[in-house]
């Protein structure tokens, strides 16, 4: 006989749990999580919001194996790690290989570090000399950079030196395998408008929706094109191969480190 399948947790409940927990593990804040039934589902036989929380893979495993007492989880639920912070704790996104790859809409940037050894990495997009999208290359690893903002320029979804943090002020943030989606509120009852959609690749990442803003200049990324702000110039369907810098606007000096 087939084992009885338990029904999926309804999407609305999952979103509410994510919002309550500040988009991270209640115990450590990591923005990479599982949905956990505090009292196990086989006993309660329901997906009650009061009995659900977010745990990172480490804390989930520790709870399941009994190493982490349920009392500790209940305490953490009362005061989730991310709740009084502007941003979640960090989570490392690993990327490795010889050829780095960043895809923004229909524009692809690749850099072959075996042909052009360059520990500085490459800047895909820079404003006034500050790289906002790009990567560094260190011992065969890529350290990724992406500064995703909301419409008012506030940090929304940041990858800095390979470490991801998410704004706890976002309306919704979801991880689906290697894909990260941030939404802002739209009309009541709808699932929200996607403002960031990034997929981590083995040797970089792909963004199909996103906004990067710095000192009044920026880049709006759409599935089929990228738009340079504020002048609204459009770039689509091209590739940048082995270029130390991709798109640089404002003062044309480029670098991850700014020297004042």
What residues make contact with Zn ion under the rule CB under 5 A?
25, 27-28, 56, 59
**Cβ closer to Zn ion: 25 or 93?**
25
**Cβ closer to Zn ion: 70 or 238?**
70
**Cβ closer to Zn ion: 27 or 104?**
27
CB of 33 to Zn ion, least distance (A): 8
CB of 163 to Zn ion, least distance (A): 15
CB of 13 to Zn ion, least distance (A): 21
SS3 category, 75: helix
**Cβ closer to Zn ion: 59 or 87?**
59
Picking from 223, 248, 217, 253, the residue whose alpha carbon sits closest to that of residue 237 is 223
Compute the C-alpha angle 5/10/13, nearest 5°.
135
CB of 27 to Zn ion, least distance (A): 4
**Cβ closer to Zn ion: 36 or 136?**
36
Q: Is the peptide bond before 230 cis (omega within 30 degrees of 0)?
A: yes
25 neighbors 59 (Cβ within 8 angstroms)? yes
70 neighbors 38 (Cβ within 8 angstroms)? yes
**Cβ closer to Zn ion: 37 or 184?**
37
- Buried b / exposed e over 219-230, threshold 16 CB at 10 Å, is bbbbeeebbbbe
CB of 68 to Zn ion, least distance (A): 9
Compute the C-alpha angle 141/147/150, nearest 5°.
155
C-alpha separations of 95 from 141, 203, 225, 238 in Å:
6, 5, 25, 23
CB of 56 to Zn ion, least distance (A): 3
- Residue 171 belongs to what H/E stretch? none
Going by the DSSP 8-state scheme, the letter that residue 130 receives in this structure is E
């Amino acid at each position: 006989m087939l084992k009885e399948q338990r029904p999926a947790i309804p999407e609305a409940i999952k979103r509410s749990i994510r919002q309550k927990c500040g988009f991270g593990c209640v115990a450590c804040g990591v923005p990479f999580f599982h949905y956990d039934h505090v009292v196990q589902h086989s006993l309660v036989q329901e997906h009650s919001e009061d009995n659900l929380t977010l745990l990172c893979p480490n804390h989930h495993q520790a709870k399941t194996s009994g190493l982490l007492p349920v009392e500790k989880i209940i305490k953490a639920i009362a005061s989730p790690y991310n709740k009084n912070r502007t941003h979640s704790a960090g989570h490392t996104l690993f990327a490795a290989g010889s050829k780095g790859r960043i895809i923004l809409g229909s524009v692809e940037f690749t850099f072959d570090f075996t042909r052009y050894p360059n520990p500085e990495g490459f800047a895909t997009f820079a404003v006034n000399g500050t790289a906002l999208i790009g990567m560094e290359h260190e011992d065969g690893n890529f350290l990724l950079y992406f500064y995703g903002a909301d419409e008012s320029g506030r940090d929304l979804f940041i990858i800095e030196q390979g470490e991801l943090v998410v704004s706890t002020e976002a309306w919704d943030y979801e991880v689906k395998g290697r894909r990260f989606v941030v939404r802002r509120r739209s009309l009541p009852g709808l699932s929200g408008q996607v403002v960031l959609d990034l997929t981590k690749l083995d040797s970089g990442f792909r963004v199909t929706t996103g906004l990067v803003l710095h000192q009044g200049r920026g880049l709006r990324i759409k599935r089929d094109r990228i738009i340079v702000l504020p002048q609204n110039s459009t770039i689509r369907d091209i590739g940048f191969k082995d270029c130390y810098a991709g798109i640089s606007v404002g003062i044309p000096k480029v670098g991850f480190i700014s020297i004042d």
